[in-house]
Structure formats: C-alpha cells, structure tokens
Amino acid sequence: MLQLMIIFSIVFLDRITKRLAVVYLKPVGSIPLIKNIFHLTYAENKGAAFSILQNQRWFFISVTIVFIFFAMYYLFLHKNENIILKIGLSMVIGGAIGNLIDRIIPGYVVDFFDFRAVNFAIFNVADCGIVIGSILLGYYLIFISEKDASKVLRK
C-alpha cells in the first residue's frame, strides 16, 4: 500500500507542477526566484537527462514501459523486502511514470527547475523522484543488502 501511495503522489505532484509550468511559465519563459541562482524556466526536453539522446522518443517509451513492468512485478512479488528498497523503487517508478506520460502525450518532457548557480540541467518533480529513489536504492545496495543477505544465509 505504501508503494502505491508513493508512486501516485509523485505522479500527481509531477502532473500538477508540469501543468502549472505550461500555463504560467511557457508564455514568459523564465521567472527568477533567486536571481542568477534559482529560476523557474520552461523547457521541453526530447531527450533524457541533460538532453542526451534527443528525439529518441519511442526508445525511451519502450525502455520505460519495460522498466516499470519489471519494477512493479518485483516490488509486489517481494512484499517483505527492506523498507528503503521499497520506497526507493517506488519513487523511481513514480518518476518514470510521470515522464512517460509526457513522452506519450505531448512527445517531450516538461522541465522547469533551473539551478543556474551550478549550471545544472533543468529538471522536474518526476526527475526528483527518480534521483532521490536512486540514491535510496544505492544506499540499500551498498549498506543494507549485504546485511540482509547475511541474515538469510545464517538461518
């Protein structure tokens, strides 16, 4: 149940914020919240992170659908997994679904968070879910999974 709430929350927040970006940011382009540091900037990304692999829409749609299917299958097949693994995977799935919706309907991902101070790529809520979820998955793999595996081996 927690997993579905996380997935739904990320998709919901992503859809709302992207809609607001289309309505309010697209006409003006950019709104500085902290000048030269953090802006809300409307961008249409037809690639992946940092706009790599531009115009590979069907590739991204296919890979994302396969990933979501297998990740959901794993998540619900292994209900007794560590909570950090479940939260991390749920966040990545939610983010993937959010960006998948964009790739299918308008054909590009709407981005709007613009950290200019560090010259970083413009991103969105779905991307935040993917990154935070990936960090949690990395933490689980590095610090927890070995402990969980050793518990199983000792039994």
Residue 47 lies in a domain: yes
Concerning whether 127 is annotated as a catalytic residue, the answer is: yes
Chunked into runs of 10 residues, the chain (155 residues) has average pLDDT values of 95 98 97 95 83 74 95 91 95 98 94 91 96 96 74 46
Which one is catalytic: 14, 102, 114, 127?
127
Q: What are the structure tokens assigned to 110, written together?
A: 């709407």
Which one is catalytic: 102, 111, 114, 148?
111
Contact status, residue 42 vs residue 25, Cβ threshold 8 Å: yes
Concerning whether 148 is annotated as a catalytic residue, the answer is: no
Residue 17 lies in a domain: yes
Residue 55 lies in a domain: yes
Q: How far apart are CA 147 and CA 150, in angstroms?
A: 5
Number of neighbours of residue 73 by Cβ within 10 angstroms: 10
Residue 40 lies in a domain: yes
pLDDT tens digits, one per residue of 91-105: 999 999 999 999 999
Residue 155 lies in a domain: no
Q: What is the pLDDT of residue 123?
A: 95
Q: What is the pLDDT of residue 154?
A: 46
How many domains would you assign to the chain? 1
Domain encompassing residue 105 = 2-145
Residue 153 lies in a domain: no
